Every structure is written in C-alpha cells, then in structure tokens.
Amino acid sequence: MPPPLRFDLLTLFPGLFDGFLTESILKRAIAQGLVEVHRWDIRDWAEGKHRQVDDRPFGGGPGMVLMAPPTVAAVEAVRAMADPPGRLIALTPQGRRLDQAWIRELAREPRLVLLCGRYEGFDERIFEVLEPERLSIGDYVLSGGEVPAMVVVDAVMRLVPGVLGDAESAVDESFGPDGGLEYPHYTRPREFRGRVVPEILLGGDHAAIARWRRQNRR
C-alpha cells in the first residue's frame, strides 16, 4: 500500500476540526491509513507568559495581526518533523482562487502543510520568510482559515486512490479534466409530484444512458 497522504494543519483553533475528522469519508480514510491528518496549535510556539500570537497592526487600524515569530517557528518545526517537508499553503483571501485542477495537482503530493490565518490575517513577513503558496477558496471573507483548510482537505482526500468506494465515485464528476458539469441524477420513486424519471434511465441500454448523460451535462 502506498504511504498515506499527510496533511499538517496549523491553526489557533485545532478543536474546530474535531467533527470534521471523526465523521464519514474522512474518518474512514484515516482509519484505513490512506490519509493522515495532524493538527498543530500555533500558540504552542508562542513565547512569554501569555503565549501571545497576535498584536495590533503598525500604522493603526482595527483588529489584530497574526505575529510572525510564533507562526514561522510553528511552520518550520512542523515541516522538519517529517520528510518531505511538504508543500506549504497559506489560506488567505488574497490567494489564487482554488479550482478542481489545483485540487488534482495537490492530490498527487505526499504531504500538504496548511497554514490557517485568523483576525486581520498574517504579518507580511510570514509570507516573505516562508514563501508559501497562497490559496483562496473564493471571493468572500471568512473568520479564519480553518474552513478553507477543511475545503482543501476534503476535496483532495476524495481523490486519493481507495478513499471513495463505488457508491461515492469521483469518476464523471463535475469539473473533470474536460471541464464539464455533471448530468442530473434520479433515484426512487419513479414519480414524484407528477415529475417522472426520464424513460431512458429506466431501461438497460447502457450506451443510450451514457449518451443521454453526455447530452445532459450542465
């Protein structure tokens, strides 16, 4: 069996991932040894009695900024814990917009290190020193990088061979290499509130069904 795809998540709120890691497909993938997920609390690398991780922005303005020293120390320590150091990705609204082609590329990596921001975001020197790739999940602002990290982990892990069973197959899905969207699905009952399932899907003519599905991609 190939080694598991390893994710390292650096965050100020590791508990946010509790339910995500312990339910459904991801839970099973971890149990099967196909995926490994490690969570790290950036605060563990903070210094001083108060283990401070954020501070007011130079130049004034609202909010707090994630400090460079604990964040850089955390990333460097975590990357050094295993070989390879992994592809480092910072979650930020200023990043390149995530799409399925990028997800396919990430699914071929042995290790992904995801850095979650909070508050007003990262001290710029975190980017200068660590030179991460910067990833945005879309043009809107969330409170932290944890949900975007979950988006990356979820979309990537389902492409790891063996993670999806037949019932959840990734074959033929939307945003495949040809860029199309998926066709409509139907299940029982055959009729619902006067709406019937297309006749062609009820017969056993697989070529005709494949043709119908091709023609009805959105």
* Interacting residues toward ligand SAM by CB under 6 A: 91-94, 116-118, 120-122, 136-138, 140-145, 148
Neighbour count for residue 133 (Cβ, 10 Å) = 13
Nearer to ligand SAM, 31 or 141 (CB): 141
| Closer of 107 and 116 to ligand SAM (Cβ) | 116
Q: Report, in Å, the least distance between residue 85 CB and ligand SAM.
A: 21
> Would you say 136 or 217 has its CB closer to ligand SAM?
136
Phi, psi at 175, each rounded to 5°: 60, 30
Nearer to ligand SAM, 58 or 140 (CB): 140
Alpha helices (H) in the chain, listed in sequence order: 18-21, 24-31, 68-80, 100-106, 124-130, 146-157, 206-215
Please identify, using beta-carbon distances, which residue of 64 and 209 lies nearer to ligand SAM: 64
Residues whose CB is less than 8 angstroms from the CB of residue 122 and which lie 6 or more positions away in sequence, other chains included: 65, 66, 71, 90, 92, 115
Geometric angle at alpha carbon 67, from 76 and 43, rounded to 5°? 65
Minimum distance from CB of 74 to ligand SAM (Å)? 14
Q: Closest CB to ligand SAM belongs to which residue?
A: 117
Among residues 86 and 93, whose Cβ is nearest to ligand SAM? 93
**At residue 198, what are phi and psi to the nearest 5 degrees?**
-50, 130
The full 3-state SS of 3-51, as one line of letters, equals CCEEEEEEECCHHHHHHHHCCHHHHHHHHCCCEEEEEEEHHHHCCCCCC
Q: How many residues does the chain have?
A: 218
Q: How far apart are CA 141 and CA 205, in angstroms?
A: 48
Q: How far is the CB of 45 from ligand SAM (least distance, A)?
A: 17
